[in-house]
Structure 1
Amino acid sequence: MKIISRQGFSAPSPSDDDGLLLRRACVTLGGKAVLQDINLHLTERRIGIIGRNGSGKSTLLRLIAGLIPASSGEVRVDGIDPSKDRKALLSRLGILFQNPDHQILFPTVAEELAFGLIQQGQTKSAAMVAARTRLKAEGKGGWADLSISTLSQGQRHWLCLLAVLMMEPDTILLDEPLAGLDLPTQARLARAFAALPQRLVTITHDPDLVKTADRVVWLEAGRVLAEGKPDKVLPGFMAAMHAYGLDDADADFAG
């Protein structure tokens, strides 16, 4: 396990355009430092980002996805600045949010699947044909004109994943991908994730989701506390979470 500190750290070269590169990246929101001095070069096929609530995980996801810019430092996705070239990023990076309702924009299944292809430059008619063709290939041809409001939570998650896969990104960010789902749906999605050829970056507070990852990054208070193989990082993380749990959870609210 490599413990990260500012002193003596040799940051990865920003000229390296493979994978996800963060070089002294910082994010300040509302005057508060949320991410501080993040130095990472992520090239592995399966990557886990862990941390307790408020550690900066979701902000890191938004930073990598270009949804917010870095306040200072550099961020690159396969050599692309995600906050400045969103169109180029579309074929490089996809996101599966924890809540599918934060991702879905259109009333019907086919329209939702077609949207990303239209963003990539396809005509609406071609994108709709591709959406219907993909649904048939998935054994869901009858879903094309369904109202998304009729789908279950698990079905909406599957739809969002399919919409991302339609765009064929090299990397997919998964934000707490199994949270709030019943066990059969969790099992089905976990199998689907395991079979994907893309690089997956799983952002979670649940160490079980990343125990087979190639690399795990532990965020604490907006900084990278440790990173390395799961068997080197997760025991320390679990011990720290157990210690936090022994503290009075309401201490900060004492009068």
Structure 2
Amino acid sequence: MRAEHEPTTPATTEPKPHLRFDGVALTRGERRVFDGFSLTLTEPRIGLIGNNGSGKSTLLRLAGGLLMPDAGTVQVHGLDTREHRRDLPRHIGFLFQNPDHQILFPTVEEEISFGMTENGLPTKEAKRQAAALLAEHGCAGWEGRATHALSEGQKQLVCLLAVLSGGPSILLLDEPFSSLDLPTRLDLRRRLRALPQRVVMVTHDFDLLRDFDRLIWLEAGRVRMDGAPDGVLPAYFDSVGYAGPGT
């Protein structure tokens, strides 16, 4: 088990951290969520697990600049989230649990092209690229579809494509499968596995986590265990009296 402050590779060979939390403190309401929390994340696929209230979703929101720490720093590619909040969307894409909390526009085309136009792309080119992205993911012809009329799985896919349209290098995913039926969940899992972006995901889909590079088990705002899935998952299952998937 690694200590909270340790890098995942020796200091002489470690790449520049993609996400770094250094002495982070945060209070929400009357609850102290983090107090001197430090962690460095560099792996391609990182899962966050733990019971409700352990700080998983809050950690993602800190990483995405949606929350600011009371003390300490959060860095994305070396950028302090306080000082460079406007620059974060170029690096970070955030997929929420409920797509209805994320969708802003009445049509699929508008939803996907918005981020590109915000980054300065002309509207005509943004629409062309949105259509190409839809076609690439098997959704050709969706441009004019009403977002409110999509199924939950289709909405989540549109949200994912809207996030990808901004070209982020890191994806933060907060329980992206919780409202989906099994076929849609399997389809979205397949799509996520194929993405080149680095992924940090909160999920209780433990089967998906088995091929992740690193799992971090949070408990009361601290790292209880940090390592490979084949070590962290059995320990977590044992702590909650769970025999594992398929039982």
TM-score by length of 1: 0.86
What's 2:22 paired with? 23
For these two proteins, the number of residue pairs brought into alignment is: 237
**What's the offset of the Cα at 1:10?**
6.1
**What's the offset of the Cα at 1:18?**
2.8
Instruction: Name the SS for the 2:27 alignment partner.
Output: strand
Distance change (3 Å), C-alpha of 1:137 and 1:232:
closer
What's 1:69 paired with? 68
**What's the offset of the Cα at 1:126?**
3.0
**What's the offset of the Cα at 1:43?**
0.4
What's 1:226 paired with? 225
What amino acid does structure 2 have at the position aligned with 1:2? Answer: R
Task: Output aligned runs, 1:18-167, within 5 Å.
Answer: 18-167=17-166
Percent of aligned pairs with the same amino acid: 46
**What's the offset of the Cα at 1:136?**
3.6
CA contact (8 A) 1:68 1:83 kept: no
Deviations 1:96-154 (A, max 9, x none): 11111111111110000011112222233332232233224444332111111111000
CA contact (8 A) 2:73 2:81 kept: no
The separation in 2 between residues aligned to 1:183 and 1:126, in whole angstroms, is 36
For structure 2, list consecutive stretches of 5 or more residues without a partner in the other structure.
Answer: 243-247
CA contact (8 A) 2:134 2:140 kept: yes
Deviations 1:5-50 (A, max 9, x none): xxxx56899xx84311111112111232112222111100010111
TM-score by length of 2: 0.88
Distance change (3 Å), C-alpha of 1:127 and 1:214:
same
What's 1:198 paired with? 197
The separation in 2 between residues aligned to 1:241 and 1:174, in whole angstroms, is 24
**What's the offset of the Cα at 1:3?**
5.4
What's 1:239 paired with? 238
Structure with higher Rg: it is: 1
Q: Which shows bigger deviation, 120-129 or 89-98?
A: 120-129
The separation in 1 between residues aligned to 2:115 and 2:221, in whole angstroms, is 31
The separation in 2 between residues aligned to 1:73 and 1:58, in whole angstroms, is 18
What amino acid does structure 1 have at the position aligned with 2:41? Answer: L
CA contact (8 A) 2:177 2:185 kept: yes
The separation in 1 between residues aligned to 2:181 and 2:98, in whole angstroms, is 14
Task: Output aligned runs, 1:182-197, within 5 Å.
Answer: 182-197=181-196
The separation in 1 between residues aligned to 2:29 and 2:51, in whole angstroms, is 21
What amino acid does structure 1 have at the position aligned with 2:147? Answer: I
Instruction: Name the SS for the 1:90 alignment partner.
Output: helix
Instruction: Name the SS for the 1:145 alignment partner.
Output: coil
The separation in 2 between residues aligned to 1:239 and 1:208, in whole angstroms, is 16
1:214 aligns to 2:213 (yes or no): yes
The separation in 1 between residues aligned to 2:129 and 2:114, in whole angstroms, is 11
Deviations 1:180-201 (A, max 9, x none): 2111101111110111111111
**What's the offset of the Cα at 1:220?**
0.5
Instruction: Name the SS for the 1:2 alignment partner.
Output: coil
What's 1:2 paired with? 2
Instruction: Name the SS for the 2:141 alignment partner.
Output: helix
The separation in 1 between residues aligned to 2:212 and 2:35, in whole angstroms, is 24
**What's the offset of the Cα at 1:241?**
1.6
The separation in 1 between residues aligned to 2:212 and 2:50, in whole angstroms, is 15
What amino acid does structure 1 have at the position aligned with 2:17? Answer: D
What amino acid does structure 2 have at the position aligned with 1:130? Answer: Q
What amino acid does structure 1 have at the position aligned with 2:218? Answer: L
